[in-house]
Amino acid sequence: MSVLQHLNAELSINSGQEFLWERVGNNWYGIHGGSVVRFSAADPLDLESFPDCVSAEEIFRLDDDMGAILGEISHDPLVKSLVATYPGLRLMRQDAEQCLFSFLCASNTNIPMIRRMLRSLCARFGRQVQVDGQKFHAFPSAKALDRASEAELRAAGLGYRAKAIKAAAREIARGSLDLESLKKASYEDAKARLLEIYGVGPKIADCVLLFSLEKLDAFPIDVWIARALANHYDWLSDKKTSDKLTACQYENLSSQMRRYFGRHAGYAQQYLYYHMRQAAGKRW
DNA sequence: CGGCAGGAGCCCA
DNA sequence: TGGGCTCCTGCC
């Protein structure tokens, strides 16, 4: 995810959503599927991609009506206050395959480790791209990942996640999984298809649905959101009693929040997530 | 320094 | 419903 603050001024990327962005001097550089993207920290709309197939409108979701969206989710007093505290925070639209592979790497680990795994995948299996005299590696295609053995993926530092990466790469490479087509499907249908993938549970599915498949009502619940719900939403039924949510509790809580916040519940989720991380002093 | 908990979870018995 | 999974960092 990324958080874009003040589109025309200060900007920060929250790596809890977008894992492969980094600031170098006055520019941000990021990996978006097969492209390297660069934009100016001072003016994010001054954006180029290499090769040129991504626009600022696309990745910053400039087509979203932020006024209307913020109005909808601000019926909740906490989110209303966070909208004021973090002006300009936005969702970023991610490459669907990269998003799926990224969150398959995200289970039972932390953000610095996720970044390390993904950089390792890019370096080993991604195409090299030169931008501004610097060498980058694009995100590997599903075919490239499918050509790698599970052992090679383990050697890239993925641990037990290698099996899931391999399984998803195979489905995409063989054409049995078409993420693009899921953008046109309903939330329920797209989620059901994602849950068939080995290694994808409700949390990862909701992340892909929100960040890449245009399901802005998806409400992913990770450990930070679970804490936010426990601390601030007393009226929720079947709240977590232990550290971890069962699949049943997850669906119950997530659907309650989707109903509560409405068709752009995912934006509310991002404010809560960003706030919980900020409050805990996390930068990355 | 060793030991242990924890980290955008999920699968399996 | 509980245990295990890779492996690294932070803390005691």
Domain with A42, as residue range(s), is: 4-65
Taking only the tens place, the pLDDT of each residue in A26-65 is 999 999 999 999 999 888 899 999 998 899 999 999 999 9
pTM of the complete model: 0.94
Torsion of CA A113, A115, A121, A127, to 10 degrees: -170
Q: Cβ of residue A278 near strand C, that is under 7 Å?
A: no
Instruction: Give me the number of domains chain A comprises.
Output: 1
Nucleic chain B: which protein residues 16-35 of A have CB below 7 A from it? Answer: 16-17
Give residues with Cβ within 8 angstroms of A283, minimum separation 6. none
Question: Given pLDDT bands bounded at 50, 70 and 90, which one contains residue A12?
Answer: low
Nucleotide nearest to A246 (CA to C1'): C1
Q: A208 CA to B9 C1', in Å?
A: 14
Looking at per-residue pLDDT, the higher value among A175 and A1 belongs to: A175
| Residue A87, burial from CB neighbour count under 10 angstroms (0-12, 13-18, 19+) | exposed
Q: Is the pLDDT of residue A179 over 90?
A: yes
Residue A107 lies in a domain: no
Orientation of helix A223-232 relative to helix A247-261, angle to 10°: 60
What pLDDT was estimated at residue A247? 87
Q: What's the whole-number mean pLDDT along residues A7-14?
A: 54
Cα–Cα distance, A268 to A256 (Å, whole number): 13
Domain annotation covers residue A129 = no
**Taking a C-beta distance cutoff of 8 angstroms, is the pair A12, A44 a contact?**
no
- Domain-embedded: residue A79: no
Position A34 in a domain = yes
- Round to a whole number and report the distance in Å from the CA of A216 to the C1' of C9: 34
Q: Which of residues 84-123 of A touch strand C (CB under 7 A)?
A: 108-110, 112-113, 116
Mean pLDDT of chain A: 90
d(CA A283, CA A258): 27
Q: What percent of chain A has pLDDT over 70?
A: 92
Residue A95 lies in a domain: no
Structural domain contains residue A240: no
Instruction: Give the phi and the psi of residue A40 in degrees, each rounded to 5.
Output: -80, 135
* A157 Cβ within 7 A of any nucleic strand C atom: yes
**Residue A30, in any domain of the structure:** yes
Q: Is the CB of A94 under 7 A from strand B?
A: no
A43 lies in some domain: yes
- Residue type at A196? E
Query: For residues A231 and A239, what is the distance between their CA atoms, to the nearest angstrom?
Result: 10
